[in-house]
């Protein structure tokens, strides 16, 4: 049997109560590392805007940039399911635009796409699925709408937010999404939504009760300048890189590098 993680296998993991591990990656080397580490899914997230391209938020990143980085990740031919994140204004204006944008991701090698929103993007989700592209939903804190939300804050504390989240979760599932990201949602609410839905929930800052977890790779590796409170740093790769580069600089200046073995 092929080792490739498919949408079908992701759905099965919920049935079998096997947790789904997902992480972002935006280029070939880190996609290879994530894949060899055994993640189930690699998300080429629009968080790339901040953690790779140094932008202030996700609103400025373009469809072309997202597609090119998805192509780089897909070139590694990961076993993990590769999901391309649809950036701001690549789907909001309607189903045709959404289908066209989504098609660019699969032509670049993605296995699926993700888009932000609940009830308001049902037509777009249905249209993308209609042309044969699997869709992952994303509700709760939707960073592409941080201006409307009033910042990057937890969602679901107010009664009306809680009710809206239930409606969004069900709408996304009914539209045909194969999974849904719950970002920065109260843990108990994420638990209830997870129990209610038949598709897997993938949490980020929404507690331990979901079917899976996702984190931004640069937060995990200590490469982000600013990380959200719910991210766990597993290594300080920034310091390790800075130390290695500073050693190189010193050796070049002193003439210690290159030694003969490097120019034989």
Provide the annotated active-site residues: 183
DSSP per-residue string spanning 69-100? HHHHHHHT--SSEEEEEPPTTSSTT-HHHHHH
The residues that touch ligand KIV, with contacts defined as CB under 6 A, are: 24, 43, 45-47, 85, 181, 183, 204, 214, 216
User: Which of 43, 175 has the CB closer to ligand KIV?
Assistant: 43
Angle at CA of residue 154, ends 23 and 146, nearest 5°:
80
Min dist. Cβ of residue 42 to ligand KIV (A): 11
Which ranges of 114-182 would DSSP assign to H, the alpha helix? 122-130, 146-149, 159-175
Smallest distance, Å, CB 99 to ligand KIV? Answer: 21
Q: How far is the CB of 6 from ligand KIV (least distance, A)?
A: 20
Cα–Cα distance for residue pair 200/156, rounded to 1 Å: 19
Q: Would you call the peptide bond into 126 cis, given omega within 30 degrees of 0 as the criterion?
A: no
Q: Which is nearer to ligand KIV, 41 or 173 (CB)?
A: 41
Q: In whole angstroms, what is the distance from residue 119 CA to residue 123 CA?
A: 9
Q: How far is the CB of 142 from ligand KIV (least distance, A)?
A: 9
For the bound state, the minimum distance from the C-beta of residue 46 to ligand KIV, rounded and expressed in Å, comes to 4
Q: Which residue number, 46 or 168, has a Cβ lying nearer to ligand KIV?
A: 46
Q: Choose between 24 and 173: whose C-beta lies nearer to ligand KIV.
A: 24
| Residue nearest ligand KIV (C-beta atom) | 45
Q: Among positive and negative, which fits the CA dihedral 19, 127, 167, 183?
A: positive
Nearer to ligand KIV among residue 117 and residue 262 (C-beta): 117
For residue 244, CA distances in Å to 33, 185, 211, 232, 238 come to: 20, 39, 38, 24, 10
């Amino acid at each position: 049997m092929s080792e490739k993680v498919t949408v079908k296998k992701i759905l099965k993991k919920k049935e079998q109560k096997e947790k789904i591990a997902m992480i972002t990656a935006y280029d070939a080397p880190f996609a290879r590392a994530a894949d060899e580490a055994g993640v189930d899914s690699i998300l080429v997230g629009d968080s790339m805007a901040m953690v790779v391209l140094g932008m202030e938020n996700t609103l400025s990143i373009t469809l072309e940039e997202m597609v090119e980085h998805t192509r780089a990740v897909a070139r590694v031919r990961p076993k993990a399911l590769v999901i391309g994140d649809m950036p701001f204004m690549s789907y909001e204006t309607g189903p045709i635009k959404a289908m066209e944008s989504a098609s660019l991701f699969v032509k670049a090698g993605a296995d699926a796409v993700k888009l932000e929103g609940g009830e308001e993007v049902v037509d777009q989700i249905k249209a993308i699925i209609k042309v044969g592209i699997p869709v992952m939903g994303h509700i709760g804190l939707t960073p592409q709408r941080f201006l409307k939300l009033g910042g990057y804050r937890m969602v679901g504390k107010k009664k009306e937010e809680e009710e809206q989240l239930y409606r969004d979760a069900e709408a996304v599932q009914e539209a045909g999404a194969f999974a849904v990201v719950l970002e920065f949602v109260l843990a108990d609410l994420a638990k209830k939504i997870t129990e209610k839905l038949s598709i897997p929930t993938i949490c980020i800052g929404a507690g331990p009760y979901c079917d899976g977890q996702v984190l931004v790779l640069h937060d995990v590796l200590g490469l982000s300048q600013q990380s959200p409170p719910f991210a766990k740093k597993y290594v300080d790769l920034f310091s390790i890189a800075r130390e290695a580069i500073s050693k190189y600089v010193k050796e070049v200046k002193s003439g210690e590098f290159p030694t003969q073995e490097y120019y034989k």
